[in-house]
Amino acid sequence: MKEFIINDNEAGQRFDKYLAKLLREAPKSFFYKMMRKKNIILNGKKATGNEKLLSGDHVKLFLSDETFEKFSGSVPAPRAKHSLDIVYEDEHILLINKPSGMLSQPADDGTPSLVEYLTSYLLENGSLTEEELRTFRPSVCNRLDRNTTGLIAAGKSLPGLQELSGMFKSRNLHKYYLCLVEGVLSEKKHIKGYLAKDKKNNKVTIYRSEKEGTLPVETRYFPLGNNGKRTLLKVELITGRAHQIRAHLASEGHPVVGDPKYGRTGAKIKSQLLHSFRLEFPSMEGTLSYLSGKAFTAPVPEIFLGTLKEEQLEESYYENLE
C-alpha cells in the first residue's frame, strides 16, 4: 500500500489528472478500474476521478510495490545547471532575465533549456523535492527566441503557474520590449497583419491581408530616439506569435539590428538587439493578487548597451528605463 498527502502544488486539480501524473506509465483505464474496485481511494472513500483535490487530502493506493514501480516510472531530476539572473522571486513565481543563446523550453534534440535550469535551481534551494517532481513540474509561462534576451515568467507553485499562464493567454499581462532597428521612426504606431509560419525553415512571413493558414498579429511601437540611421524602439507585444516582433518590424522596412534571420545580411552585429525589458501585472484577484499593478524591468545585456553607446542612443535608453 502506498499513501500520499496532497500538498499545495498538487491541490486544485482533478483527482484523475493527479493520478495520470503519479502513474504516468499506466493507461487511464487502469486507474479508473482501480478506483471502481476501491484499490485507489481518496480520503478513505471510493472516488470517481473528477474530485477537485485540496491540500491535505489523503490518497491510498492498494497496489503491490511491483505494480506501482511499473506504472509510476522513473522521474530523473534534471542535471543541467546554469546560473540564473533572477529579477524577482516569491513562493509562487520567478521572473528571470534570460541571456542570449539560452532556449526557453526543451528542444527535441535534448538541448538543456531554462526549464531544466529552473528545476535544478529549485531543487538546490529546497523549494522543490525530487519526490514532488512526480506530480508537479515548474515551468516557464512565456517563450523568447533563443537569441532574444530579457524577462521570462515562471511558476514555481501550481497556483502560480496556473494564474501566470492564464494572464499570458488572456493577454492581461502587458509585455514591453526594447529593440534597435534600422532606419528612422519618429511616430508611435499600432501595426496589424497576418502571420504564416514555415515550420520546416523555422521562419514566418507577415501579410497585410488574411490568407489561408495565417494568424492575426498586432504590435505597437513607440520611438524613444534615433541618430538619423537607427531607432531605439519600445515595443508592446499585443499578440504573442513566433518571431512576431522581428518579422513584423522587418515587414515594415525596419528590421532589428543584428537579426540573422529577418535583418540585413552581412551585418557587423551578430546578436539581435531585442530585449524583453518590462512586465506589467494587471489588477487581479486570486493567489497572485499581491502583484496587482506592479511592474518589473530587466536591464539590457552588455552587447546591447555597448551598441547604444556607439550609436549615441544611450541617453534615450536610460530616460525610458522606468
Residue 217 and residue 239 in contact, taking contact as beta carbons nearer than 8 Å: yes
Long-range contacts of 54-57 (CB under 8 A, 24+ apart): 54/6, 54/11, 55/6, 55/7, 55/8, 55/10, 55/11, 56/5, 56/6, 57/5, 57/6, 57/11
Determine the Cα–Cα distance for residues 117 and 282; give it in Å rounded to an integer: 28
DSSP-assigned letter for residue 233: E
Question: Reduced to 3 states, what is the DSSP secondary structure of residue 289?
Answer: helix
Q: Strand locations in 199-272, DSSP E?
A: 203-207, 215-226, 230-237
What number of CA atoms fall less than 13 Å from residue 103's CA on the CB side?
14
Residue 236 and residue 279 in contact, taking contact as beta carbons nearer than 8 Å: no
Q: Which residues are catalytic?
A: 145
Determine the Cα–Cα distance for residues 265 and 38; give it in Å rounded to an integer: 66
DSSP string, 72-138: H---PPP-------EEEE-SSEEEEEEPTT-BSS--TT---BHHHHHHHHHHHTTSS-TTGGGT---
Closest CA to 4 of 46, 66, 51, 53: 53
Residue 322 and residue 312 in contact, taking contact as beta carbons nearer than 8 Å: no
Taking phi first (over 0 means left), then psi (-120 to 50 degrees means alpha), and beta for anything else, what does residue 293 get? left
Contacts of 6 (CB under 8 A, 6+ apart): 18, 53, 54, 55, 56, 57, 58, 59
Residue 16, C-alpha cell as written in the block? 484523475
